[in-house]
Amino acid sequence: MQAYLRSWRQSAITRGQLETACFVSDKLLALTNSEEDAFALAQTYFAAGNYTRALSFLSKSDSAQTSPAARYLAAHCYVKQNKHEEALDLLGEKNPVHLVTTSDSARRKLQHLSNGLSSKQHGKSKLPSRTERADRSEERDREDASNIKYEAGMCYLRGVCYAKQNSFDRAKECYKDAVRIDVQCFEAFDQLMKNSLMSPGEEWDFLESLNFDSIQPDPGDPNNAPEAADFTRNLYITRLSKYARPDDFNTAIETLSTHYHLGSNPDVLLSKAEILFTSSRYAPALAITSEILEADPYNFACMPLHLALLHQLNHTNALFALSHDLADTHPHEPCTWLAVGTYYLSTNRIPEARSYFSKASLMDPHFGPAWIGFAHTFAAEGEGDQAIAAYSTAARLFQGTHLPQLFLGMQEIALGNLTIAREYLTTAYNLCDRDPLLINEIGVVAYMEDDYTSAVRHFLLALSIAEDNEAPPQQNVSTRLNLAHALRRAGRFHEALEQFDEVIRLGLRESGVFASKGLVLLELEQPFDATVSLHEALAISPQDPIATDLLTKSLTLLESEGVLGGADEEAVDVGLRNRLAEVRQQAMNQSNAPRQQRRVIRQQEEDEEGGDGMDLDGTSDPRRS
């Protein structure tokens, strides 16, 4: 009968018939009254969402204190009920660090068991005794494999509780210990990556420290262990920040796509889209996220990136349709109201956008995109102080990403606080040194501090990184314009002129660009070309005072100088004079030709009249008579 009930319970759980599973588990416990069946009933209640009933069964026995599995389940029930203090009381504050493994499995680490105090701290110089230390590898080997996984799960729950209390440093350490103990504890690894608790460099160092060789896929086939370790490592690589070691990313994605045929998997596709996004290649990134959402319309892991791309490319109609769909189907998801806020931000309806970003952040206080969008609304209205407060909150919540620090620096630049701006930007640079936008902002600070050599160097570095990322040139036209201005202020006018021409070629046809180009041409003593450029500036903005003043100056210079200038104009003048002389000579020749013709005709008439009877003395001429 017991075997029959256990089989019935398992088949009900497999079919998702949790009420049936609870009914059968209750009868099985009545028959056996065993700790194992009590724990199974508690698990069934937990799966059905009856957390209080699950706790009541676990509390009837001492298993919650003696069994790692029961303690983990009881703490998980407390967490689900948002009773984080009770969960921490049950879990304790210390992680089982003696179960931690590293990538160097041959290395033995000794653990001091004196509450972290060494003998030197007590003023004595003695070696720890044999009883004061333990070999971590041996201690781990003595633990049951299932208990190790439950211990890792409890580390993860400690991290969740600390995160809810805004103790992010302690939460980060708990998550890291959970993954070190059980490298397959993906929940803890995902919290580290999703909440940006580590910088890109720290993420890679942490990944390298993990012991993937501890994975045992099938006890009956140990030969699969190396392949399973490599497969898991490549999967974890796709979750890391995309601002560091892009070659390793591409290798991992290529391996997963070709060897394991995961090229169309949503997580692998999302990693490709994130790489394109960080490289400012927005159109192909949007094509990938659209492909993901076409196969899975409510993939909320992909949604924030998809919304950012739609906003960046100004696809307001798509934002409108997506926001309405999410509001109808998932009103309790923070990402839904992030989509609505993004739509209003794209249509420049800032107050409405702020209210929906705020709603998303209230639903999930650790939802990073909502905090960033909330701060953007203040920045869009020029409310610098409120924007700085919101960005500071985001920087406190997400310590591993450089974006809040970058936005704080940009706000301080707008307020003219260059010293504070440089501090924020330096902090962001220490977190990520491969973001062209960040390096551009550092160059802007140098430019405003009149350090034009440093500004030129930073602008060139930003453009070089963007070129390495294969970003479209149009995405970095602002950085190139900044470079042109820095070269102009540094007195490198020929280089500045080349950059201004490139900016115009890339499509940035603004009055200020043509006016700046005209100013450079004036510095190069080319007033005619400067006049042409300034006329183009005034055609775009007829009331531009700077272009008007520069045009007046340029025309003044043209008054004392020929249009062509120098030897070219002299050669033209000589040619014009020669041509004029030729025209006059031709005119004179044409005017003299009729007179000569009349003379010839008159002479012929006189000859015909005189003939042989010509009167030589003229008496026969009537005009003389």
What is the tens place of the pLDDT at every residue in 144-183? 677 899 999 999 999 999 999 989 999 999 999 999 999 9
Q: Say which amino acid occupies 247.
A: D
- What the block records as the tokens of 356 is 């929906």
- pLDDT band at residue 243, thresholds of 50, 70 and 90? confident
Q: pLDDT higher for 78 or 246?
A: 78
pLDDT tens string 367-403: 999 999 999 999 999 999 999 999 999 998 888 899 9
pLDDT > 90 in the chain, percent: 63
Residue in 77, 71, 94, 88 with CA at minimum distance from that of residue 177: 94
* Residue 212 pLDDT greater than 70, yes or no: yes
- What the block records as the tokens of 39 is 């724990």
* Residue 111 pLDDT greater than 60, yes or no: no
- What the block records as the tokens of 535 is 């006329």
- pLDDT band at residue 247, thresholds of 50, 70 and 90? confident
How do the residues of the chain divide into helix, strand and coil, expressed in percent and rounded to 5?
A: 75, 0, 25
Nearest-angstrom CA–CA distance, 177 and 195: 16
pLDDT at 135: 46
- pLDDT band at residue 85, thresholds of 50, 70 and 90? very high
- pLDDT band at residue 493, thresholds of 50, 70 and 90? very high
* Residue 88 pLDDT greater than 90, yes or no: yes
* Residue 291 pLDDT greater than 60, yes or no: yes
Task: Map tokens 């209390």 to a residue.
Answer: 165
Query: 114 with 130: CB under 8 angstroms?
Result: no
Residue in 32, 30, 58 with CA at minimum distance from that of residue 44: 58
Which neighbouring-strand residues pair with 110? 135
Nearest-angstrom CA–CA distance, 263 and 256: 7
Residue range 106-112: mean pLDDT, rounded: 39
Residue in 235, 241, 303 with CA at minimum distance from that of residue 275: 241
- What the block records as the tokens of 618 is 């003229």
Poorest-pLDDT segment among 47-51, 88-92, 315-319, 557-561 = 557-561
* Residue 120 pLDDT greater than 50, yes or no: no
As a whole number of Å, the end-to-end CA separation of the chain is: 170
* Residue 137 pLDDT greater than 80, yes or no: no
- Residue 64, number of CB atoms within 10 A of its CB: 21
Q: Which helix (H) or strand (E) holds 228?
A: helix 225-237
Nearest-angstrom CA–CA distance, 577 and 142: 109
Q: Which helix (H) or strand (E) holds 504?
A: helix 493-505
Q: What are the Cα distances from residue 98, in Å, to 140, 148, 180, 412? A: 7, 11, 11, 46
| Full 3-state SS string of 434-491 | CCHHHHHHHHHHHHHCCCHHHHHHHHHHHHHHHHHCCCCHHHHHHHHHHHHHHHHHCC
Q: What are the Cα distances from residue 107, in Å, to 104, 136, 240, 431? A: 6, 10, 26, 30
Residue in 484, 480, 486 with CA at minimum distance from that of residue 496: 484
- pLDDT band at residue 603, thresholds of 50, 70 and 90? low
Q: pLDDT higher for 567 or 94?
A: 94
pTM (two decimals): 0.81
Query: 196 with 401: CB under 8 angstroms?
Result: yes
